[in-house]
Amino acid sequence: MRILGAVLVVFSTAAIGYGGVKRLRERVRNLEGVIAALDVMESEICSHLTPMREVLEMLSNDAPGQSRKLFENVAEGMCALGRCSFYSIWREGVENTKELLLKPEETETLSELGLCLGRYDVREQAEVISRIRRRLEIFLKRAEEERERDTKMHAFFGIAAGLFAVIILI
């Protein structure tokens, strides 16, 4: 019975550690997804002049992984255009897409994009999208470093915490 309990405790703490690892991996995937979606967005807006609703609909279906949730949320918010500005719809969309696992600084950067999207000047939009993408690439690099650095630590501490608890309890 004790052995079974000990195994369960170790499994539980290992699962928590693995959750941390998964979170680190997902953050990297989400940032990659958002950056790829911004590439598509830039091309659709600046080269094809595709209307914003169509761009959002397209990315809601085709953007990689969880990043599509962001565009889904913004697309849903578009019905409020007129009561709210596009910037506030975009910002709310970014803030409400918790699945992206963004840090506050990353959320702020992505929200800034809403200030220029949908404006008349295509060149200005291309510049801002490029700037935001470059900043997101820096965040992505950091997230990758974090993943490399912390993956083993999360796994180790997960199991170690379980073993420690077992030793104490036994």
Query: Contact residues for other proteins (CB under 8 A)?
Result: 45-46, 49-53, 78, 81-83, 85-86, 117-122, 125
**Least separation, in Å, of the C-beta of 140 and other proteins?**
27
> Are the C-beta atoms of 35 and 140 separated by less than 8 Å?
yes
Q: Which is nearer to other proteins, 121 or 148 (CB)?
A: 121
Identify the helix (H) or strand (E) that includes residue 68: helix 67-77
Q: Which is nearer to other proteins, 5 or 51 (CB)?
A: 51
> Are the C-beta atoms of 24 and 151 separated by less than 8 Å?
yes
Q: Which is nearer to other proteins, 31 or 56 (CB)?
A: 56
Q: Tell me which residue has tokens 């912390």.
A: 150
> Are the C-beta atoms of 56 and 71 separated by less than 8 Å?
yes
Q: Which is nearer to other proteins, 124 or 148 (CB)?
A: 124
What is residue 84's DSSP assignment? Answer: B
Helix (H, G, I), strand (E, B) or coil at 116: coil
**Tokens standing for residue 113:** 């994009």
**Least separation, in Å, of the C-beta of 154 and other proteins?**
41
Distance CA 71, CA 53 (A): 10
**Least separation, in Å, of the C-beta of 17 and other proteins?**
44
Q: Which is nearer to other proteins, 121 or 145 (CB)?
A: 121
Distance CA 119, CA 93 (A): 18
